Amino acid sequence: MFIRALYTLLLTAASPLLLFGLYRRRPNKPKFGPRWKEHFGFTPPLVDANNGQPLWIHAVSVGESIAAIPVIKAIKAKNPEQTIVVTTTTSTGAEQISKLGDLVEHRYMPIDFAWCVRGFLKTIKPSAMLIMETELWPNTLATVHQANIPVVVMNARLSERSARRYAKFQPVFDMIAANLDHLLCLHRDDADRFAQLGIAPERLSVTGSVKFDIQIEPALIEQSQQLRQQLGESRPVWIAASTHKGEDEQILEAFNTVKQQHPESLLILVPRHPERFDSVAELCQSQQLSCVRRTSEQDVDEATDVYLADTMGEMLLLMGAADVTVMCGSLVGDKVGGHNMLEPAALAKPVLTGPSFYNFADITQQLEAAGALKVCDDAKQIAEHLDELLSDPTQCQHMGKAAIGVVQQNQGAVAKTLAVLDQQRQGYPVRCQQTK
């Protein structure tokens, strides 16, 4: 109790800065508008409130929202009458959930003060809370637990480094863990680390990652093919996905090297955060590169060097139009730890990544072992591997085939997740077999 009170005091002191970061206006960032009040527990009633207690799924931002979609669709397919409420903290996450239409209702996540969370619970009255990945807020978990609402964490992962940090503050971890009913872990190693920190084995299952259950719609493939025709069907095209500050310069360095051997090549450049769209465009122009923004009405022609993706939620479409994907968030030291490489893999695209991919170590290692991915230390190595792949379409095809093979071998996590959720609702002990 003392630890949580101290945490609340610190959160109160830090909240002005945190809220400023959340609400600060940035170029191309969707606005919260009058819905900002939802962060403080002033939650509008559900439109569809007549089908019993809704299921509450929390996905903090864009990546978690995308990961939750297969689970949402599977739940609705199994029980079309089940009302699902999805909360996100960010407006960019809300934008992703809006694409599900009437399948779910979206609300903003109340900030981590008990009175805010109680306001949300009083209006929504959820039957259970499902958290996508390890987004664990102490006051939220305690308030939900006190309301006798089960809390299940999906895609739960715990790196060795994070486990060591938690172990140094065991009372803090114990406070959080006491309010979790079940954790659906990515791998046996994750479950073992949670167990070493004191989570009882009967509260742990290994279901694998629901991200492997990505489904590529035929309509999206067709849209990607149409985009490729617009960009240039015969020219080499590669994509740098989810770049962070400090990576664009390295990507453009690699691009200038690649152009020496492939002067007709085109780079699709996708900054991770919308507030950086303008600055990245200016960076391209400062290097005398011809840059066309996706949101502009300007057509891409043979002289275009960079196609700047200044939109959100189109990553699969853009990857589908490229020959090779360079997954970023991996070229800025240990600040980010990489991004999900399963999207290009599911599209049968060869993947390159930088050396820092600790958040997706298992996926990276599986893809590399299968010959679907290459790890590059710097811009020079990225350029070397791109030159090799863009010069050899057959090698691209082999790597792409290996990539989609890894995805298919690991699928089934959504079905296992739903099985665990069903058993949890029935109150039975839950144990799932480890995925390979």
At residue 312, the pLDDT reads 84
Q: Are 319 and 347 in contact (CB under 8 A)?
A: yes
- Catalytic positions, written as ranges: 64
At residue 278, the pLDDT reads 94
At residue 293, what are phi and psi to the nearest 5 degrees? -85, 145
DSSP 128-179: EEEEESS---HHHHHHHHHTT--EEEEEE---HHHHHHHHHTHHHHHHHHTT
At residue 383, the pLDDT reads 98
Reported as half-sphere exposure (CB side, CA atoms, 13 A), residue 245 has a value of: 7
Give start and end residues of each alpha helix (H) in 180-271. 188-196, 218-231, 248-261
Q: Are 67 and 93 in contact (CB under 8 A)?
A: no
Q: What is the pTM of this model?
A: 0.75
Pick from 153, 142, 150: which is nearest to 183 by CA?
A: 153
Q: State the Cα–Cα distance between residues 214 and 216, nearest whole angstrom.
A: 7
* Residue-wise pLDDT tens digits, 187-212: 889 999 999 999 999 999 999 888 88
At residue 266, the pLDDT reads 98
Q: State the Cα–Cα distance between residues 39 and 137, nearest whole angstrom.
A: 14
Question: Structurally, what CATH architecture does the domain formed by 218-409 represent?
Answer: 3-Layer(aba) Sandwich (3.40)
CATH fold group of domain 14-214+412-426: Rossmann fold (3.40.50)
At residue 1, the pLDDT reads 72
CATH 3.40.50.2000 domain range(s) in the chain: 218-409
Q: Are 122 and 149 in contact (CB under 8 A)?
A: no
- Token pair listed for 10: 């610190």
CATH 3.40.50.11720 domain range(s) in the chain: 14-214+412-426
Could you state, in chain order, the average pLDDT of each consecutive group of 10 residues for the chain (436 residues)?
87 90 79 92 84 87 87 92 93 88 94 96 94 89 95 90 90 92 92 94 92 89 97 96 97 98 97 93 97 94 96 93 97 90 96 92 92 97 98 96 95 90 65 40
